[in-house]
Every structure is written in structure tokens, then in C-alpha cells.
Structure 1
Amino acid sequence: MDEKYFIEIENIIRKNLDERGMDRINLPGEFKKGVKDLLKSSTVFIVTGFVIRDTLTGETDGPIGAISLASALENLGKKVVLVTDKYSKEMLYNCCMVKHMKTPIEVVPYNNAEEFCNDLLIKYNPSHIVGIERPGRAMDGCCYSMRGEDLSDLVPNTDILFEKSKELGITTLAVGDGGNEVGMGKVTSFVVNSVNKGGQICANTATDYLIVAGVSNWGGHALVAALSILSHTMLLHDSITEILLLESMLRAGGVDGCTKKPTLSVDGLSLDENLQILERLRRIVEKALNKQREKIVAV
């Protein structure tokens, strides 16, 4: 895959990072290495779901990126397991129905979360674990919203999966946009120094690879775009499917994480703004695939 495509994809999803002070985070080569490692996976856990206290339901950022990636990996012959909590499970079920996926969904309970997570690792023996917009525990053991709201009494601890992975030799990757998501322990100093309330909210758990995006769904789509180019096939769904996914999440109680309202928006950004990012990523994939076909014809 031409180096320029990785760079173009990364530049697209970095839009809006300055809104949260995340624009100073720069991990050269991280995206490329993470995607190539993911392509070698056999069984992948995708952990997602971020609860909004006011509604006691999940937000619209995270599940779409998770579903996008899960679908792509399954099309590549990988086994995928979606992992979430009770607040986002119905959203994921609805999204799977939209995409006609039969991906297993494991719901981590609040009590006995450690035992449950350990059992999951034994049951599925994953080669890779990916977090997409999943709350991570901060240094004080609590997990927070971007506003500094303590969510620890609601969110089951799924950091366990990532921590245990280090012992078991499982590769980990995370996507986040605000500093309070699992994986951000890799860039603690940036979050603490640049993000509002960063010292309080910064997630402590680091992952092998970290993708920072303006919206976490975009990070999931970016991974799919790169996998599409590497595998020579379009794996990224279209705008119509994106709208259907958003609508299905609203029916399950999903809300915009910033406005806390059940609207066709993500992180305070309109439907059009989100669709523009998806379409830009699709255009890069189409350009790359056309280039690949031209080379084959020329030979």
C-alpha cells in the first residue's frame, strides 16, 4: 500500500482534534503499523460503548466504528466478538441487524467484571483486542466523561481485557478522541498538559497501537479504509448504511455524547459533517483500488 494513502487517511480523521486539545498528539507510523498488525489477526475482540449518565444509554460515537471494523474483519475471514456493557448492547444488536451480521455480542456485567473478562479470554482466545471509544480507568481508578463526570458506578471495568493481554501476548489497539478512553495511557503527558481536565480524566491503560481521531467512529472507518486498500476490496460501507446505523441506534436509546440528545449527529457534529468524512475515506479507497486495477491491466 502506497505510503501516501496512510497519510491521507490519517489527515482526514484528525479533523476537529484541536477542539479538545488533542491535535498535539502525533504518533508517526502508528496507524500504518496498527493496520498491518490487524490484518494478521485471527480472532478479534472489539470493545466499545460509552454510557451517558443523563440517559443511562450509550452514545452514538463508538458503536458505528466498531460495527464498521467488525464487518470488515469478518469479510476478511476473521472471527470477531463485540464486547460492551448493558447500556450499549441494544444499539449494537440493532447495528448488526442493519449490516446482516451474526457477530456474537458479549455484555460485561458491572459486578464480577474481572472474572467475566478472564473467562472471555479463555473462551475465545483472541489474537487482538481493539477498543473504540471505550471508557478507561484514570490514575485514581475511576473513569470519567470528557467533562470530568465520574462514571465509575456505571461502567464495568473492561480495562482488565487490555491489562491481561500484556501477560498473554495479545496485541492491543485503541481508538479515542478525548483522552479518557482506554489506550490513552500511551500519551498521558499530552493529555495531561493539553486537554481540559486532562490530569483528572486521562485513561491510564496503554495499548500497543493508538489511533487518535476527531471522532472515534472516524477512527474505526479509517482502519477499514486502510484494510480495504491492503486487501484490494471495498470494505467500507456507504452513506446510506451509515444513516441506517445511526437511526437504529436512536431506536435503541442512543444519544449524541455531547448534546445528550437522540439526534442524527455524533459528538455534536451534524449528520452531514460525519457523512463527509466517510465519503472522503471512501474516495481514497476507490482511488487506490482503481490504481491497483490499472497496474493489473498494464501487466
Structure 2
Amino acid sequence: PVLEAAVAATAPNLPVDVAPLRGYEDWAAARIPAYGQLTHLIACERVGPGVDGRPRNMRGEDIGAHTAPLDQLYTSGSAFRIGIGDGGNELGMGRLPADLVGRVVAAGERIRCVVGADALLVGGTSNWAAAALVGALSLLHPEVPELRTLLEPAWSYDLLSAVVGAGAVDGVRRRPTLSVDGLDWPAYAEPLTRIAELVGTSR
């Protein structure tokens, strides 16, 4: 329901393929050939396996029962892989030394995802790093105005409102609030506004 609300609020015509928790192996096996033909893959805030093979949240809790092992598709084929994260437990973080993640993240060496990426973007929140990537793409491709729309704080606010209304919770606060990673909207929106301003002044 949360994903459906996000798509309905921002891109109602976007095709979405949701990985099931039950029957995942068959679902993934049917898609590996197609994924193998892709040139680029982006994993944003997508948890991946740690040193013990189990996906863990920032609290060190095993969340394998609640998340599909999309690392299998992420590592299939020869696509250029981009990882975006903020806590060390996301796909792509395997590019960083374990001791580095351990120094800056609580229980970092335990929760650190071991799957690497060709390029890794790290942000105070993953969404900020993703917005920076969108900003760079919008500068490289000014003929695609939709990219600039994605940078507007109002777009993010509408999206956040829609997913919270559908039952999403702030991962830090563990309750449905208009906040991201424990940051209330005004603080969360500041970097988004700055990125939009930077892109706007670079036209």
C-alpha cells in the first residue's frame, strides 16, 4: 500500500514490479535474463546482506523476514551498479572498508552490507544523495524537464505525505510522521532546496 501510494502521488503511469516475499526465488529467476540486459542499476536505501549473510537494519535487527533479497538481481549481469545509502547496511556499502563503517556507524561492522557497487553515494539521508544524483542528471540532460520537477521540495512533500497517509513510518521514530530519519520536514527539506537552487543557477 505504501508503494502504491507513492506511485499514485508522483508517477501514476510508472510501471512497478514488486518483489514478493513468498515465492521470491521463482520471481527472481524469471527476471534475471532481463536484468542481465540492463546497462545501469540503482539501489537506493536498499538493505543487503551483512557479513553473516543476513540483512540488518540500523539497530542490528535481522529483517530478512520482511525484505526480499534483491541483491541477487543487483549483482546479476554486467550493469554499472550505483549504490545509495546512509547507514552502512545498504547495497553498495561493501565498497567501503569494514573498519571505516565500524568507526562511524553504531555496530557498523556487524550491519555493514558486503555487496559493493561501481559507484557509491553516501548522504546524511539516502534521499539527499539520491537528489544529488538527480540534480547531476538534470544538468547533463536539460532536455528532460521532469528531472528538475523531482528536485522541487513540494514534490518530496507530496510524496512524503502520501506514504505517511498510507501507513509508512519514520525509520528512526518508528511512527507515522512527516519526517525522514528523525528529521522534521523543515530540516529535511533544507538540502533538497539547496540542491534545487544549485541546479537552477547552473542552467
| Residue 72 of structure 2 corresponds to residue 160 of structure 1 | yes
Task: Please report the TM-score for the alignment, with normalisation by the length of structure 2.
Answer: 0.90
The answer as to 2:109 corresponding to 1:195 is no
What CA deviation, in whole Å up to 9, does each residue of 1:199-253 have, x standing for no partner?
Answer: 2100011111110011011111111111111112552332222211111001211
1:99 corresponds to which residue? 10
The answer to whether residue 185 in structure 2 is matched with residue 275 in structure 1 is no
Q: Does 1:243 align with 2:157?
A: yes
Name the Cα RMSD after superposition: 1.6
How far has the Cα of 1:196 moved from its partner? 1.1
CA contact (8 A) 1:188 1:204 kept: no
Task: Determine the structure 1 residue equivalent to 2:94.
Answer: 185
Among all aligned residue pairs of Structure 1 and Structure 2, give the percentage whose two residues are the same amino acid: 33
CA contact (8 A) 1:266 1:274 kept: yes
Greater relative contact order, per chain length (Cα 8 Å cut-off, separation 6+): 1
Q: Does 1:204 align with 2:123?
A: no
The more displaced of 125-134 and 170-179 is 125-134
TM-score computed with the length of structure 1 as normaliser: 0.62
Query: Which consecutive residues of structure 1, in runs of 5 or more, have no partner in the other structure?
Result: 1-89, 290-299
2:138 to 228, 251, 265: 228
Structure 2 stretches lacking a partner, 5+ long: none
**Deviations 1:35-79 (CA, angstroms, capped at 9, x unpaired):** xxxxxxxxxxxxxxxxxxxxxxxxxxxxxxxxxxxxxxxxxxxxx
Question: Does the residue aligned with 2:83 lie in a helix, a strand or coil?
Answer: strand
The reply to whether residue 136 of structure 1 matches residue 48 of structure 2 is: yes
Which 10-residue stretch deviates more, 155-164 or 117-126? 117-126
* SS, match of residue 119 in structure 1: helix
Further displaced range: 218-227 or 192-201 = 192-201
Q: 1:162·1:205 contact (CA, 8 Å) conserved in 2?
A: no
Shift of 1:91: 2.2
- Match for residue 73 of structure 1? none
| Structure 1 match to 2:124 | 214
Amino acid of the structure 2 residue aligned with 1:240: A
